[in-house]
Amino acid sequence: MDEPFEPRVALASLSGASDAAWARRVEEHVGAAILGGIAIDEGSRSAARRMVERDREEFLPADPLAFVDAQLGALDDAGLRAGFNVRSATLAPLREAAAVCADRGAIVEINAHCRQAEMCAAGCGETLLRDAHRLCEQVETASDTGATVSVKLRAEVPGVDLADVARWVGAAGADVLHVDAMDAEKVVGRVAGATDAFVIANNGVRGGETAREYLALGANAVSVGRASDRSELLKRVRRATEAWFAGGSDEPGTPARDDRTEGIEP
């Protein structure tokens, strides 16, 4: 398994808010920033417009692919790995967006996460979790461009076993699985045990303790979303992850651990 970024702390996309300027403000604390999400095909853009009408924030540039390219270009000299979270029900726009990310050395992140009714009705977001064949097609399409492919997943979707999804999309070519654990943290361990992909754990990371909990479950990295503008919090998370992978601890007086997963249920 490759390590797509260091330090192993990412900024998770926040729809309509996560742009290059957002990443720049805290770039010294993280190894990656996933911009977006952005709707890139006709159906998802129509859904995004309806969401804006009910006061949701969304990126709705006239040319979404040009926007992706410009935003990634603004991070070319940043000290982090950039990525873009994209929503599409169709393959052609996804292929184009993935090619832009590949050209920029960025991660393309397929959104199988959004639970907004409009996006689900358009065949995007968590709808893809219930249709693994379509999700795998999207992964294969993006992977064929040479881009590093991430899939943003959500726990606690009725009828969906994320460990099964992880196996399928990993086999289809996903390099990274970005798991929103919701209130089911142990799902991160099940996903990590089901795939060789790089697993990023998301949801409620607010400092060293929560970061270590996810890493102990088998995550390779953690991400911070709503608190991503809090530099002091990001410093603590970075310190904890760096100490973890060095085999030590960021907590004074705490000895290094030889077996970081001892006693953890897979």
The whole-chain average pLDDT of the chain stands at 92
Strand stretches in 181-233, DSSP E: 198-202, 221-224
Residue 261: its pLDDT value, please? Answer: 29
pLDDT band at 209 (very low <50, low <70, confident <90, very high): very high
What are the tens digits of pLDDT across the range 79-98?
Answer: 999 999 999 999 999 999 99
Alpha-carbon gap, residue 226 to 66, rounded angstroms:
26
Q: Output the CA–CA distances (angstroms, integers) from residue 199 to 3, 10, 17, 93, 133, in the order listed.
A: 10, 11, 24, 26, 21
Reported as a single tens digit per residue, the pLDDT across 49-69 is 999 999 999 999 999 999 999
Residue 88: closest CA among 33, 152, 176 = 152
Instruction: For residues 111-138, give the mean pLDDT.
Output: 97
Per-residue pLDDT of 225-259, as tens digits, reads 999 999 999 999 999 999 999 986 655 434 333 22
| Closest of 130, 194, 122 to residue 163, by C-alpha | 194
If phi > 0 it is left, if psi is from -120 to 50 it is alpha, else beta; for residue 36 that is: left
The pTM (predicted TM-score) of the whole model is: 0.92
pLDDT tens-digit series, residues 129-180: 999 999 999 999 999 999 999 999 999 999 999 999 999 999 999 999 999 9
Domain boundaries along the sequence of the chain? 9-245
| Fold of the 9-245 domain | TIM Barrel (3.20.20)
Question: 3 CB contacts (<8 Å, ≥6 apart)?
Answer: 198, 220
pLDDT above 80 (res 126): yes
- Cβ neighbours around 258 below 10 Å, total: 7
pLDDT above 80 (res 186): yes
